[in-house]
Amino acid sequence: MRIAELRPQPNWVLSIVADDGRVGSFDVRPYLEYEAFEYLRNQDEFMKVINGGYFIEWDCGADLSADTIEARWQVVGKATPQTTA
């Protein structure tokens, strides 16, 4: 999976659109107990996530691969292509 769009949401959830159009959410809260992710307990820092396509990362060095996200995200639908008039 390649991450096409990434939007951080309140309560440590990421809204994700995959390159194949699947739309879903990924809950980062279970990872906050680990030392590498403790910096992200600060909601402002969590919101500064960067999309690397095949991974996501934060300034503190914490990162997650697209494979990890795909294995644990909740798919809620499929994006519809935008049409132009």
Is the per-residue pLDDT at 9 higher than 90? yes
What is the arithmetic mean of pLDDT over 56-74?
A: 96
Q: Please report the domains of the chain, with CATH numbers, ordered by start residue.
A: 3-78 (3.30.2020.40)
> What pTM did the predictor assign?
0.88
The pLDDT of residue 39 is 96
Is the per-residue pLDDT at 71 higher than 60? yes
The pLDDT of residue 80 is 73
The β-bridge partners of 26 are 14
Q: Tens of pLDDT along 11-53?
A: 999 999 999 999 999 999 999 999 999 999 999 999 999 999 9
Residues near 52 by beta carbon (within 8 Å), at least 6 away in sequence = 3, 63
